[in-house]
Amino acid sequence: MKKMVFLSIFFAIHAQLPALAFDLDANTVAYWDFNTSSAYINDLSGHYLSGTLYGTIYEESAVRFNGTSSSYAVFPAIDPYLTIGTLTLQAEIKISNYPIAEGTDTLSALVGYISTAISESYGYQLRLVQHGGQCFLEFALGRTGSVSPVVCRSNLAMNLGQWYDIGAQYNGESLTVYIDGNRTGGSFYAGDLHLNNGLCYVGKEASGTVVHGFDGLVKEIAVSGSTRFLDSIINAFDVDSRTIGLWRFNELSGMLVYDSSENGYNGQLLSGVERRIGKYGRSIYASSSESYAILPKLIELENSEGFRIEAIINIPSYNSNITNPIFHIGREDDFSFTLSVGLDHQKVLGVLANNRQFGVEMVKYNLSDSFFGNWQKVGVVYLLGQIRLYINDSLVQTGTVSPIDFALNYETYIGGDTWHSSVWNLNGYIDEVKVSTYTESSAPVLLFPEDGAEIDYATALRWRNENKLIGYLFKMQVSENPNFTSFIEYGLQYDDTAITLAEIDDDRVLPILTPLFWRMRVESQIDSSDWSPISFFYISNNSKIEANKVSAAKYGFDIWPNPCSKAFSLRVSIARTGDYSAEIVNLKGELVSTLFTKKLVRGDNQIGIREILHMPSGVYLIKIHGKNVRYYRKLFIVR
């Protein structure tokens, strides 16, 4: 079997500290500290891969390179030490000047080497590229069968005179680049790391002629034979009982698009649609009116009085001649409903509704320039003609259109439009799309205690949920003031029906024998109910109980997918920030695997679990616990 090789390059910036900035362990191939006025850079790893400086000066406890081919550092080849097929390169840098513009793109080498031969390219190179007056990070990787390396570029510009955390990673199937710990770009490449034991250069290209030199400061570089930077698998949207369809575009190849819901609305990509790196796993990219995804008719959509469409998108730039359809249902000359960016030749997010009786109707929201070139979460809620537009879960615009009358036959597209006009075509990326049924949510009904009742800390406040749909969370507030100008706030799962007073007031800050007011509502990321009618109670003067007999927090979690064969996600909702652990145990309670031990913040936390190693098929329990918090268990099936 052909061995897959992994490459990761990562640069980091730290304050001036006497300790080393990066890990120095058994996996370290080389560690170069540039905090020296000498012409030599020692290797602290023990592999004796020390290097020599040429044409540099010592400045700011770092080495300054002047951007010319005579200012650089050279080190022995690190390739022979990559015996396990992984590589990480970390460093501290600051950019002084961009490479001089000479045409569309001008490159400036940071570290590595790229060399070419007939039909081949070798090596790796992390570099800067000047494009349109701005500077971006770029990662190039040599490949067999092509003199042109495969390249990925960051979508985030970098400033002069600023220390950055920058990096790049190759994991055997994709290249990704990072700035300040955030993934900012990537591209697919399934192949081996193609090396030929070339010398490692810092500050210039190996030949000195292909690209410009680096003009700036370097403080430390660490080369590791293990991957230091790992991406977790996290999905933007989860499946719930309201989900009609969810398309994540995470397929490795092919033209089929799988629906992650149980409804099986699998789709098809047309030619011209490319698979790219997204914000959450993979995405699709299109740039013509004949390149989009076709979906089946969504029967539940037709039978619902309301629906919600959500998508993760990135439209690189605004073009007044292009309307970018995100999600479209319609039939030519009959009816249509389209969520799009650039509607009506305007810089807007909008909905266009069209039918024979009422004609064209639109609801639009003006966009700023910052919307473009970045990943955005957009959404629309339709309910009996009422329209709500959302950007990153914030309501930005409301309006009305005529009620939709679904035709007997219609098309469903992601990134396309029924009329196939050259004006209506996606010019950008779509990461995930979710379509759900929608109804207005109702506030919980407060059941106990009755108004004016005197209760102790062991008493549970109880309510009834009026909503039959999954996906909402309860929000509770308790206040000394009926206007709730200040309050204790608590978050609970949708299937909770009670919580003790001790869990709410675990710090014992509420006064004794003073009227205390409480209210509740249900919330989701896209809407919320009104607050329930206010009720009030008193805490009795003999109500103190031992704190350690009560949970410090109440929380719950969901697992998706479940059953699972490899990767899955946990969505953990907790009431108090703290340290938590998640473990897989068998039905006898024996530990099988520790998933994580980490700090979680109050509210929703989504954690991606990359894979389950060496676990046979069967039924398990996932257990989550924290300090002074009772265990919470959920059944988990591995298939």
- Burial class of residue 542 (count of CB atoms within 10 Å of its CB; 0-12, 13-18, 19+): exposed
Give the span between the Cα atoms of 451 and 537, in whole angstroms.
Answer: 6
Whole-number pLDDT of residue 409: 80
Do residues 146 and 212 share a domain? yes
Q: What are phi and psi of 71, to 5 degrees?
A: -120, 105
Range list of β-strands (E), 195-342: 200-202, 215-224, 243-247, 256-257, 267-269, 274-277, 282-286, 293-295, 306-314, 324-331, 335-341
Total structural domains within the chain: 4
Q: Residues near 153 by Cβ (< 8 Å), separated by ≥ 6?
A: 129, 136, 137, 138, 139, 177, 185
95: helix, strand or coil? strand
Q: What stretch of H or E contains 143?
A: strand 134-143
Which among 273, 257, 274 is positioned nearest to 265, based on CA atoms? 257
Q: Which residue has the higher pLDDT, 235 or 57?
A: 57
User: With DSSP H G I counted as helix, E B as strand and the rest as coil, what are the percentages for the chain, rounded to 5?
Assistant: 5, 50, 50
pLDDT tens track for 312-360: 999 999 999 999 999 999 887 778 899 999 998 999 999 999 887 778 8
Q: What is the mean pLDDT of residues 592-616?
A: 72
Do residues 189 and 171 share a domain? yes
Whole-number pLDDT of residue 7: 46
Q: Which residue has the higher pLDDT, 304 or 345?
A: 345
Asked whether the predicted pLDDT for residue 556 surpasses 70, the reply is no
Lowest-confidence segment of 45-59, 65-79, 83-97 by average pLDDT = 83-97
pTM of the model: 0.49
Q: What stretch of H or E contains 89?
A: strand 88-95
Q: How confident is the model at residue 85 (pLDDT cuts 50, 70, 90)?
A: low
> Do 404 and 317 contact (CB within 8 A), yes or no?
no
Q: Which residue has the higher pLDDT, 71 or 141?
A: 71
Domain-embedded: residue 20: no
Q: What are phi and psi of 544, to 5 degrees?
A: -65, 130
Give the span between the Cα atoms of 59 and 218, in whole angstroms.
Answer: 10
Asked whether the predicted pLDDT for residue 265 surpasses 60, the reply is yes
Whole-number pLDDT of residue 315: 94
Apex 296 CA angle, 292 and 300, nearest 5: 125
What tokens appear for 346 in the block? 């305007």
Whole-number pLDDT of residue 66: 93
Give the span between the Cα atoms of 504 and 474, in whole angstroms.
Answer: 13
Q: Which residue has the higher pLDDT, 628 or 530?
A: 530
Domain-embedded: residue 560: yes
> Do 593 and 581 contact (CB within 8 A), yes or no?
no
Backbone CA torsion sign across 156, 157, 161, 167: positive
Do residues 542 and 563 share a domain? no
What tokens appear for 153 in the block? 């570029």
Q: What stretch of H or E contains 502?
A: helix 501-504
Do residues 182 and 141 share a domain? yes
Q: What are phi and psi of 343, to 5 degrees?
A: -65, 140
Q: What is the mean pLDDT of residues 184-206?
A: 82
19: helix, strand or coil? coil
- Burial class of residue 263 (count of CB atoms within 10 Å of its CB; 0-12, 13-18, 19+): middle
Beta strand 535-539 pairing with 453-455: parallel
Q: How confident is the model at residue 544 (pLDDT cuts 50, 70, 90)?
A: low
Q: Residues near 15 by Cβ (< 8 Å), separated by ≥ 6?
A: none
Do residues 161 and 291 share a domain? no
Whole-number pLDDT of residue 602: 65
Cis, bond preceding 563 (omega within 30 deg of 0): yes
Do residues 271 and 405 share a domain? yes
Do residues 457 and 584 share a domain? no
Lowest-confidence segment of 99-108, 334-343, 493-502 by average pLDDT = 99-108
pLDDT tens track for 213-222: 899 999 998 8
Domain-embedded: residue 164: yes
Domain-embedded: residue 235: no
What tokens appear for 78 in the block? 């690190």
Whole-number pLDDT of residue 447: 87
- For the chain, the C-alpha Rg in angstroms (whole number) is 28
Q: How many CA atoms lie within 13 A of 512 on its CB side?
A: 8
Give the span between the Cα atoms of 152 and 141, in whole angstroms.
Answer: 9
Q: How confident is the model at residue 612 (pLDDT cuts 50, 70, 90)?
A: low
Last residue of a domain, one of 498, 519, 549: 549
Do residues 100 and 198 share a domain? yes
Q: How confident is the model at residue 270 (pLDDT cuts 50, 70, 90)?
A: very high
Cα–Cα distances in angstroms (integers) from residue 69 to residues 240, 245, 337, in the given order: 58, 55, 57
Look up the CATH number of the domain holding residue 575: 2.60.40.1930
Q: Which residue has the higher pLDDT, 410 or 303?
A: 410
Lowest-confidence segment of 115-124, 386-395, 592-601 by average pLDDT = 592-601
Give the span between the Cα atoms of 286 and 432, in whole angstroms.
Answer: 14
pLDDT tens track for 133-172: 788 989 888 888 888 888 888 888 899 999 888 888 887 6
Look up the CATH number of the domain holding residue 156: 2.60.120.200
Last residue of a domain, one of 526, 549, 572: 549
Domain-embedded: residue 233: no
Domain-embedded: residue 143: yes
Q: How confident is the model at residue 502 (pLDDT cuts 50, 70, 90)?
A: confident
Give the span between the Cα atoms of 189 and 568, in whole angstroms.
Answer: 24
Lowest-confidence segment of 313-327, 543-557, 582-596 by average pLDDT = 543-557
What tokens appear for 234 in the block? 């996290």
DSSP letter (8 states) at residue 232? -
Do residues 120 and 252 share a domain? no
Asked whether the predicted pLDDT for residue 398 surpasses 60, the reply is yes
Q: Compute how many other C-beta atoms are within 10 angstroms of the C-beta atom of residue 229.
A: 18
Q: Compute how many other C-beta atoms are within 10 angstroms of the C-beta atom of residue 508.
A: 12
Whole-number pLDDT of residue 35: 92
The residue assigned the tokens 């390179």 is 65
What tokens appear for 476 in the block? 């509770």
Domain-embedded: residue 229: no
Q: What are phi and psi of 140, to 5 degrees?
A: -120, 140
Whole-number pLDDT of residue 551: 39
Look up the CATH number of the domain holding residue 484: 2.60.40.10
Domain-embedded: residue 287: yes
Whole-number pLDDT of residue 575: 62
Q: Compute how many other C-beta atoms are within 10 angstroms of the C-beta atom of residue 587.
A: 10
Where is mean pLDDT largest: 56-70, 409-423, 495-509?
A: 56-70
Last residue of a domain, one of 549, 578, 605: 549
Whole-number pLDDT of residue 639: 66
Asked whether the predicted pLDDT for residue 19 surpasses 90, the reply is no
Where is mean pLDDT largest: 83-97, 277-291, 314-328?
A: 314-328
Q: Which residue has the higher pLDDT, 45 or 384?
A: 45
Asked whether the predicted pLDDT for residue 498 surpasses 70, the reply is yes
Do residues 481 and 342 share a domain? no
Residue type present at position 594: T
Whole-number pLDDT of residue 548: 36
Whole-number pLDDT of residue 170: 81
Q: Which residue has the higher pLDDT, 367 or 11?
A: 367
The residue assigned the tokens 């971006």 is 136
| Mean pLDDT rounded to a whole number for the chain | 81
Structural domain harbouring 376: 243-437
Give the span between the Cα atoms of 26 and 419, in whole angstroms.
Answer: 61
Whole-number pLDDT of residue 5: 46
Whole-number pLDDT of residue 614: 61
Do residues 278 and 399 share a domain? yes
Do residues 274 and 359 share a domain? yes
Q: What are phi and psi of 370, to 5 degrees?
A: -70, -15
Whole-number pLDDT of residue 9: 47
Lowest-confidence segment of 5-9, 89-93, 173-177, 265-269 by average pLDDT = 5-9
Q: What is the mean pLDDT of residues 168-187?
A: 78
Q: Compute how many other C-beta atoms are within 10 angstroms of the C-beta atom of residue 292.
A: 26
